[in-house]
Every structure is written in C-alpha cells, then in structure tokens.
Amino acid sequence: MARKRTLSATTFRRGINLWPPFLFAGIRVLAVSPDFRSAKVRLRLRWFNRNWVGTHFGGSIFAMTDPFWMLLVMQNLGPGYVVWDAAAEIEFVSPGRGDVFAEFVLTEDRLTEIRELTAEGKKALVWFHTEVLAADGSVVAKLRKQVYVREKRKSD
C-alpha cells in the first residue's frame, strides 16, 4: 500500500529543480507523473557544464539520473519500506553535444516484483536501467542503478 503523499508531484518537481546540484548543473526535471510512476529529465549543454573537449561533463550526466529510481520506488512503496541507492554503473556511449534526456518509468510489475522479493522481511537489491538520449534519439550513456529495498522492522 502506497503512502499518502504529503507532497504533490508538481511541488516535488519545482523543488528538485531548485536543488543546488541540479540547478547549478543545468539539470531540469521536466515532468513527474502525479502517481510518481514516471519522470523526465533534461540536461542542457551550457558553458558551465562542458568538459575539456566541449561535450557534456560525465558527472552531470550521472547526476541527472541519480535520485530518480530510489525516489520513485520510495514514493510508491510507502513508509513501510526502507529504500536506498546501493550501487551504480555508467557507460558513456557517445559524446553529448546538445541537450540530453532521461526517462524513468516504474511499472506495476516491477513494484509487484519488489514486494514479492521483500516479503517476510527479506532485503532486495533491484537493478534499474536507464538510457540518456540526445535530442535525435541516439544513446549518449547507459546507466544501471541498484536500489536496496526491505520492509521496515519495528526497530527502524
């Protein structure tokens, strides 16, 4: 059962867009669905986030994807679960020479899988995959994020 949200998706989106790591890197959250099942993020190429060769700084590409799987899972499972980022991998496929985008879609099937994996207090380490795409649809980077999930214990 998902928690009653104290924060709307719109308020969340506006707030995270003011979060200094996003604001000062040129990262913008374009959309968060009202049910926190999806999000779309853009990273604009600017003078302050280019690397030495004039393309996107890899740290900014990673940062634009960093919190979303954890936040979407947390918002959908509710307060009865502990949810943390556990690991991440990134593969840079091609140079980002313009705006790049990432989309995150959390399906009911994945949530069901997580609930089943964490039944009876077990922990689950769940991998999520994301591609960062250029405006033309070409792949700039491939990411994997591992999220730790377990039901809360009475001592939590």
- Is the pTM of the predicted complex or chain greater than 0.95? no
Query: What tokens were used for 69?
Result: 């799987």
Q: Report residue 87 as tokens.
A: 């690991």
For each of the domains in the chain, give its residue range(s) and CATH number, in order of start.
Answer: 9-79+89-110+125-144 (3.10.129.10)
Question: To 10 degrees, the CA torsion angle through 106, 40, 31, 50?
Answer: 150
Give the per-residue pLDDT at 112: 97
Per-residue pLDDT of the chain (156 residues; tens, 9 = 90+): 455 556 899 999 999 999 999 999 999 999 999 999 999 999 999 998 899 999 999 999 999 999 999 999 999 999 999 999 999 999 999 999 999 999 999 999 999 999 999 998 999 999 999 999 999 999 999 999 999 999 998 777
